[in-house]
Amino acid sequence: MLNSIAILGRPNVGKSSLFNKLTKSRNAIVSDFSGLTKDRNFGYSDIKGKQYLVVDTGGVGSELTEFSEAITEQALIAAEESNLILLLIDGSQELTSDDINLLQIVRKFDKKFVVVLNKIDIKVRSNAKEDLLKYGAGEILEISAEHSRGIKELQIYISENLQDNPVPETSGTRIAVIGRPNAGKSTFINQFTKQNRLIVSDIPGTTIDSIYVPFTFNEEEFVFIDTAGIRKKYKQSHAVEYFSYVRAMHAVAEAEIALMLIDANDGVVDQDLRILNLIREHGKPVVIALNKVDELTSTDIENLLDSKKYHNTIMSDLVIMQISALQKTGFKRLFDTLAEVHKIATTKFSTGKLNKLLEKFSNATNMPSVAGRPVKMRYIHFGGIYPTKLIIHANVSTKIPSNFKRYLINSFRDELSLKSIGLNVIFKKGENPFEGKKNELTTRQIKKKKRLVKHVKKSKK
């Protein structure tokens, strides 16, 4: 099960810089301007082959702004729901009352936390470390997020202090049902399994925790994972997004396929695309179901299908279906599709088939060049699932033109019917069997070389 890490601290201590380093991205805007991050930012961190969900929060402090109360609440909710809290302190400045207050608040959560002292590269050092030790901060990690100092030590600390959460033992294929609060997830599961296992309400956030619902379809066993929205004690509207993200990510980590429900009345909104983007980064296959289409007219459906966000590139290679959970329409076709997508997502394609396709795609286009050398693809083989990995052994492995990679991905996706399935094409440089070996001449070649040298010397006289 996915572990989550919350980065907490007062404004402008380097939280977004640390987030970018851990996730190896530039998703968080970094600036010297204090308080730039107002909402949470989410991303994955891969450490020693394991994935962690990292949450970048807005700065928590005593400075009052029109957003400060909401920012503080969101940051504290993120910290309370995480498995590990990184309390970030600016090591170039003296300890402030806000830092001390945050340290005391974090302690009350009764969560694993570590104090991280940032900006140690700045020559002007403060007494922050000594003061933190006086307040009983415990272990303190020193880093420079901007210059990547101490990041490896921090990653080692994370991997050693966050153990894998056990996934509940269930028999059958696990399907995570995700979506924004009130998208109809619980209604769908109740209607599909013909059991009133889940509470259904018009109030967003009725589901409190992830719930496992086993069922049988066509004599096969499956398990629906109904994901939680917002908890009852957090009814503020701005907290809804946080729980939608985190609960969805935990469910996807446990599942083998994700079914994303979108309320057709609202259409595709920004939050749907953000959740979808994180799911696809996780590598699991995704099928989208537009729910509540029974409440729309044919004109409304046409407008939805023509909308700009519906045609977003992240949805272009996904299977999108129309259902009504309340009216039980589209269920059989949807589940046949889910079963087929899961089957293909776990298929191990043979080397022979992949190489025939690679030769076909190579002959159909002009091969690109890298540093003046034409790319030569020797062979391809299957590399794994979630996402499906195809490894191409070639004479180069880096600086492959992105348009050529996209061409290969799209070609393999079409030929192998990988719609809704993550696909990663990896180039690996093949080893030269003659590298390091000296070309030894035969006896006949040596004699011929001597005669040639003797002839050249005579001609020069």
Residue 166 inside a domain? The answer is no
Residue 304 inside a domain? The answer is yes
* CATH number of the domain enclosing 312: 3.40.50.300
Q: What is the pLDDT of residue 137?
A: 86
| Tokens found for residue 368 | 């690109």
CA distance 206 to 193: 19
Q: In this structure, are 130 and 250 located in the same domain?
A: no
Mean pLDDT of 137-152: 91
Q: In this structure, are 26 and 142 located in the same domain?
A: yes
Q: What is the pLDDT of residue 30?
A: 46
Length of the chain as a residue count: 461
Annotated binding site for GTP: 9-16, 56-60, 118-121, 179-186, 226-230, 291-294
Three-point CA angle 351, 356, 358, nearest 5°: 90
Q: Which pLDDT tens digit goes with each residue over 270-279? A: 888 888 887 8
- Model confidence band, residue 371 (pLDDT cutoffs 50, 70, 90): confident
Residue 168 inside a domain? The answer is no
Q: In this structure, are 196 and 336 located in the same domain?
A: yes
Q: In this structure, are 84 and 23 located in the same domain?
A: yes
Q: In this structure, are 314 and 354 located in the same domain?
A: no
Position 103 pLDDT exceeds 80: yes
Using alpha carbons, select from 33, 161, 28, 27 the residue that is nearest to residue 86: 161
* CATH number of the domain enclosing 445: 3.30.300.20
Q: What is the pLDDT of residue 383?
A: 94
Q: Whole-number mean pLDDT of the chain? A: 81
Position 460 pLDDT exceeds 80: no
Owning domain of residue 390: 348-461
The better pLDDT of the pair 250, 102 is held by 102
Domain final position from 276, 311, 345: 345
**Phi, psi dihedral angles at 141 (to 5 degrees):** -100, 135
Q: In this structure, are 360 and 410 located in the same domain?
A: yes
Q: What is the pLDDT of residue 209?
A: 43
The better pLDDT of the pair 227, 233 is held by 227
| Tokens found for residue 379 | 């062979």
> pTM for the complete prediction?
0.66
Residue 56 inside a domain? The answer is yes
- Least confident residue range of 16-25, 37-46, 137-146, 170-179: 37-46
Residue 39 inside a domain? The answer is yes
Three-point CA angle 105, 109, 110, nearest 5°: 125
Q: How far is CA 11 from the centre of its chain?
A: 26
Contacts of 106 (CB under 8 A, 6+ apart): 8, 79, 85, 87, 113
Q: In this structure, are 341 and 365 located in the same domain?
A: no
Domain final position from 345, 365, 396: 345
Domain final position from 161, 191, 217: 161
Q: In this structure, are 338 and 193 located in the same domain?
A: yes
The better pLDDT of the pair 397, 202 is held by 397
Position 169 pLDDT exceeds 70: no
CA distance 72 to 341: 42
| Tokens found for residue 371 | 């540093």
Annotated binding site: 9-16, 56-60, 118-121, 179-186, 226-230, 291-294
Q: What is the pLDDT of residue 70?
A: 66
Residue 13 inside a domain? The answer is yes
Q: In this structure, are 137 and 177 located in the same domain?
A: no
Q: What is the pLDDT of residue 215?
A: 78
Residue 167 inside a domain? The answer is no
Q: Are 34 and 11 in contact (CB under 8 A)?
A: yes
For residue 90, count other CB atoms closer than 10 A to its CB: 21
Q: In this structure, are 276 and 425 located in the same domain?
A: no
Position 240 pLDDT exceeds 90: no
- Model confidence band, residue 33 (pLDDT cutoffs 50, 70, 90): very low
Q: In this structure, are 315 and 379 located in the same domain?
A: no
Q: In this structure, are 237 and 382 located in the same domain?
A: no
Residue 451 inside a domain? The answer is yes
Position 394 pLDDT exceeds 60: yes
Number of domains in the chain: 3
